[in-house]
Chain A
Amino acid sequence: MPAGSHQIALNLLGSAFLVGTDDPVTAAEISRLWHPFLQTEAAESAQAVTVDGATTSDRLGQFATTLNATALDAAPTLAIHAGVVARHGVAIAMPASSGVGKSTLTAACIRRGFDYLSDEALCLSYQDGSVVGYPRPIALSAWSVTAVHACAVGVPVGDESLFTADDLGARNHLGAARLGHVVMLDRAGDPRSAPSLTRASRPDAVTLLLRLSFNHYRRPADAVRLAADVVRAADVWRLRYGDPLDAADLLCSKLADGPQT
């Protein structure tokens, strides 16, 4: 059992957690920000996580980092560093390493009407290649908040703020989705430059997905097969953009109806 008078049961990608804290504000924020993962009771196998720290910001920041790393590493899916949104059950994955702007572009997309799956990980089922949502809180910098015209005030954590999809006027995608598009990101130096979306190489997309995977080492041969299978069935694009909302508008107009092959 974790320490703390407030206890919260969560399940992220098959990993059960029982979270404990003495701070009611922290407990309330965890319940709100991680509400897609709330459980009515903790599983017997739940890992105990005690949340402490000097401030609510410290507590939530440490908690978010620990929870994310643990859940992705242990996920029964192939988990790949990517932002993921969906429309009509068709997912668009935007794989990229940290700092490229995944979360900002993901937030921009859901501001433009896409459903939210994740700002962190594309999770692919080894059984059928479907996309499993991982709607953790969206982490945005102050620049990103302005860039996507976020109306709500996020929960400050370090240099960023955490938002739910609901905070940004969107909804979480419930259930599995089919991967329709892989969009490789290319940030333009000039933020005012018009975005462009061009066809890109499927083999390059397979390589990128494998390079950005969190947990391929657990089932490496299956990971190679799965990455190839899902990319074979998807359209692959290169998005060059400066302004995230302009890019989201382009994705909305070009890709909102599913694969184009």
Chain B
Amino acid sequence: MSQCSPSPRATFRPRGTVAALVTAPGAGRAMPAEPVGPPVAGLTATEVDGCFHIFNPATQRAVALNATASDIWRLSTGEHDVAEIVAILARFYQVDGDTIEGEVRQVIDELAGQGLFDVAAAN
């Protein structure tokens, strides 16, 4: 582990847990065209007070997520695309989707850049 970096972070304010807004994909639900995630196998993810620290053995790096980035991580299961994640978070945080879309995309890009998503599984 070369370092434990503080990114990615998003800045909109959390108001509880996003898990309550996530509905499990039911039978007949179409898979998203461009899913976010799922996490690559072999990660160590620990959660403290709603925030994840994730160690990726492939890169030997640990990443610290703040509360909102952790919500995005929870939704990055391969069952949602970016638009769905933005919609879920906008509803949860009671903000306009357009307001947070840029930050959500940025966090997802950073998570992907850290090698945390299984690209093969997503395709």
Contacts and interface: CB of A to CB of B under 8 A. Distances in A.
B70 to A, nearest CB: 9
Contacts of B62: 210, 220, 224
Contact of B48 (A206, A211, A221): A206
Nearest to B44: A221
A223 interface: yes
A231 interface: yes
B66 interface: yes
Contacts of B46: 206, 224-225, 228-229
A201 interface: yes
A70 interface: no
B1 to A, nearest CB: 4
A203 interface: yes
B4 A207 contact: yes
A224 B6 contact: no
Interface stretch (B19-27, B51-59, B115-123): B51-59
A172 to B, nearest CB: 31
Given A203-B64, A220-B62, A210 B48 contact: no
Q: Which of A201, A203, A225, A232 counts the most B-chain CB atoms under 10 A from its CB?
A: A203
Contact of A202 (B2, B49, B66): B49
Contacts of A211: 3-4
Contact of A231 (B1, B4, B48, B66): B48
A229 B49 CA distance: 11
B51 A203 contact: yes
A255 B93 CA distance: 36
Contacts of A228: 46-48, 53
Interface string A184-203: 00000000000000000111
Contact of B60 (A210, A220, A229, A232): A220
Nearest to B66: A203
Contacts of B6: 207
B56 to A, nearest CB: 9
A231 B46 CA distance: 11
A195 B2 CA distance: 34
B1 A217 contact: yes
A54 B4 CA distance: 41
A218 to B, nearest CB: 10
Given A202-B49, A203-B48, A229-B46, 7 more contacts: A207-B53, A211-B4, A220-B55, A220-B57, A224-B62, A228-B47, A228-B53
**8 smallest A-B Cβ distances: which pairs?**
A203-B51, A228-B46, A220-B1, A210-B4, A221-B44, A207-B64, A224-B55, A202-B49
